[in-house]
């Protein structure tokens, strides 16, 4: 009995400090807390916003002050409106955490958390996401997000009776909105000019834009469930080969990842990043632009019948694509993926996900180097008995872990950044790692060509390579990709595009090779892929547009 009492006493003594912590919690009113949290979120999670605002409005300091005052008033009004009794803590904590996470990626990489970036995040793999979970992110989230969130969870919040609370809140919200309006009106010309010329400023305001983008994404996902895919090119048929070719034609379309034209030696880059491709008989197009700046947009767009100006996510999802039209024409269409998936393009054809193969020669944690394509291709080519189009979706140069995209023997440019956290590397090391990834892509593409060449007696081969989008490597403080297209830098939209054709394949669709090579200086875009592939494979369909076929002018081919 004594022993039991002693144990109880010890437990009571031990629990006393914890009980004191929770019993002596400070109390704060909902309105003062709303003001504190609003100001904290506006300034603690918006470093990039304020840095750019100071730069853009350097000639009008009074407008900058008015912006700070006006936004502070607007944030206070918003947070006060959200300070309902049972939601105030979870809502405030959620907004702090959203702002904290968004600010890390905006501050570190210059990315914008819009609907396309939300889509990329939702469709990414665990391995890809893992590269972004760095120690820097951990401490940023801990200090900026978790610590203030714990404080909010700990304190007591005093709420007034409902009607009294509504009146008190409105007594603050209305003046705040008035201040916001007066601040905006008083410097309207400066604000209008600044936001018109630098519309990136609005898109990086945390946590407003990330939350709005997440809502838009959720709405879009809900709407997609009701989409019925419309057939395209059901009239497609193969025309006879112009040279009477009897052997199968094999076209390999390589959808590159994050390769920017600026770092291709074929495009005039000062470094030798394409030593193997330069020895191949390829045609390179130096002036090619992408449809988007992120895989979730560019990849489905480049296989879509819609050009960049007409393409929308909804149109892409609700209409069959190039691979479907090829299948309608009786061509074997297949997709091999070594990235985050085909984004709906391969839903109705044969597809393989190589990133989950577990092949330890190429793969670590569900991410594989693109050499895995070379390892599997010979066996596939052995089975080909008909005209075929095989798409290889690369992992390519996807960042920030560029160093994981190439094997040791391709560490040509040194020292290379061996971290996914750019703050731990110099700009030169980051570029070196990226260039090594391009060097490895050069090897993979050249090896694919060699494999097709080796089978020229039994197969007519061709290869098309175009990257989905480019990459920023620190220019103007921006890294990675995914910037909204309207103000995306050229590094993210100018992409490499090349074609290799053997003699029999060229003759099969009547290509005048000198004419075609001479046309390479003309501007191109991903809009050309859909129609050019149909032209290469002699496919006749109403979906074909001769004006967008890069080969048409050198074949004399009729429209349809």
- Which pLDDT value is given to residue 188? 85
521 has a pLDDT exceeding 70: yes
Strand partners, 462: 251, 501
Nearest alpha-carbon partner for 258 in 128, 410, 67: 128
The pLDDT tens digits for 298-346 are 999 999 999 999 999 899 999 999 999 999 999 999 999 999 899 999 9
Q: Among 3-17, 372-386, 448-462, which is the least confidently predicted range?
A: 3-17
Its pTM stands at: 0.83
**Residue 11 pLDDT class (50, 70, 90 cuts):** very low
Q: Among 31-45, 53-67, 70-84, which is the least confidently predicted range?
A: 53-67
21 has a pLDDT exceeding 90: no
Q: Give the β-pairing of 249-256 and 460-467.
A: parallel
560 has a pLDDT exceeding 50: no
Can you tell me the mean pLDDT for 418-424?
91
378 has a pLDDT exceeding 70: yes
- Which pLDDT value is given to residue 6? 53
Strand partners, 501: 462
Nearest alpha-carbon partner for 120 in 256, 295, 257: 295
82 has a pLDDT exceeding 60: yes
Pick the CATH number of 237-554 from 3.40.50.300, 3.90.226.10, 3.40.720.10, 3.40.50.2300: 3.40.720.10
- Which pLDDT value is given to residue 176? 95
- Which pLDDT value is given to residue 254? 98
Bigger pLDDT: 357 vs 497: 497
Beta strands, E only, 310-441: 332-337, 350-353, 363-364, 367-368, 388-393
Angle between helices 47-56 and 88-109 (to 10 degrees): 60
Q: Which of 17-26, 157-166, 279-288 has the highest mean pLDDT?
A: 279-288
Can you tell me the mean pLDDT for 534-559?
90
Q: Among 114-128, 165-179, 424-438, 528-542, which is the least confidently predicted range?
A: 114-128
382 has a pLDDT exceeding 70: yes
- Is residue 374 within 8 A of residue 334, CB to CB? The reply is no
216 has a pLDDT exceeding 60: yes
Q: Any residues with CB less than 8 A from the CB of 560 and at least 6 apart, and which? A: 540, 541, 542, 544, 546
**Residue 557 pLDDT class (50, 70, 90 cuts):** low
- Which pLDDT value is given to residue 459? 97
- Residue 228 CB neighbour total at 10 angstroms: 5
- Which pLDDT value is given to residue 7? 52
Averaged pLDDT score across all residues of the chain: 91
CATH 3.40.720.10 location in the chain:
237-554
């Amino acid at each position: 009995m004594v022993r039991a009492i002693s144990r109880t006493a010890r437990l009571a003594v031990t629990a006393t400090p914890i009980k004191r912590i929770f019993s002596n919690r400070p109390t704060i009113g909902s309105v003062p807390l709303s003001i504190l949290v609003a100001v904290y979120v506006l300034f603690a999670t918006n470093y990039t916003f304020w840095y750019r605002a100071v730069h853009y409005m350097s000639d009008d300091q009074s407008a900058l002050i008015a912006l700070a005052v006006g936004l502070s008033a607007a944030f206070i009004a918003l947070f006060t409106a959200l300070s309902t009794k049972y939601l105030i803590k979870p809502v405030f904590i959620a907004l702090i955490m959203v702002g904290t996470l968004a600010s890390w990626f905006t501050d570190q990489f210059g990315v914008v958390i819009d609907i396309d970036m939300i889509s990329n995040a939702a469709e990414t793999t665990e391995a890809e996401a893992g590269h972004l979970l760095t120690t820097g992110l951990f401490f940023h989230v801990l200090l900026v997000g978790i610590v203030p969130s714990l404080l909010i969870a700990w304190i007591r919040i005093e709420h007034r009776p409902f009607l009294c609370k509504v009146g008190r809140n409105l007594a603050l919200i209305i003046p705040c909105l008035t201040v916001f309006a007066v601040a905006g009106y008083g410097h309207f010309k400066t604000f209008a000019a600044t936001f018109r010329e630098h519309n990136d400023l609005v898109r990086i305001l945390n946590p407003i834009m990330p939350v709005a983008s997440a809502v838009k994404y959720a709405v879009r996902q809900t709407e997609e469930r009701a989409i019925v895919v419309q057939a395209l090119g059901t009239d497609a048929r193969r025309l006879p080969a112009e040279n009477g070719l009897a052997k199968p034609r094999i076209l390999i379309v390589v959808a590159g990842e994050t390769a920017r034209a600026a770092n291709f030696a074929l495009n005039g880059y000062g470094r030798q990043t394409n030593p193997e491709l330069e020895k191949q008989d390829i045609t390179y197009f130096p002036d090619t632009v992408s449809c988007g700046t992120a895989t979730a947009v560019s990849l489905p767009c480049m296989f879509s019948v819609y050009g960049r100006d007409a393409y929308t996510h909804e149109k892409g999802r609700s209409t069959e694509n190039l691979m479907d039209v090829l299948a309608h024409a009786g061509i074997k269409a297949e997709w091999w993926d070594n990235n985050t998936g085909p984004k709906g393009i391969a839903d109705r054809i044969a597809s393989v996900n190589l990133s989950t193969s577990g092949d330890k020669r190429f793969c670590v944690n569900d991410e594989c180097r693109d050499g895995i394509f070379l390892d599997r291709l010979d066996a596939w080519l052995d089975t080909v008995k008909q005209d075929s189009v095989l798409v290889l979706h690369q992992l390519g140069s996807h960042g920030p872990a560029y160093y994981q995209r190439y094997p040791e023997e391709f560490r040509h440019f040194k020292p290379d950044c061996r971290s996914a956290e750019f703050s731990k590397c110099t700009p030169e090391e980051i570029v070196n790692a990226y260039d090594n990834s391009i060097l490895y892509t050069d090897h993979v593409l050249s090896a694919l060509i060699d494999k097709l060449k080796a089978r020229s007696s039994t197969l007519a081969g061709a290869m098309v390579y175009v990257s989905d989008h480019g990459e920023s490597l620190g220019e103007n403080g921006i890294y990675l990709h995914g910037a909204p297209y309207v103000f995306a830098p050229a590094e993210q939209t100018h992409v490499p595009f090349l074609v290799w054709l053997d003699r029999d394949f060229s003759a099969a669709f009547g290509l005048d090779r000198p004419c075609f090579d001479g046309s390479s200086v003309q501007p191109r875009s991903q809009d050309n892929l859909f129609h050019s592939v149909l032209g290469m494979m002699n496919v006749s369909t109403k979906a074909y547009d001769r004006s967008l076929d890069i080969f048409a002018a050198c074949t004399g081919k009729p429209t349809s």
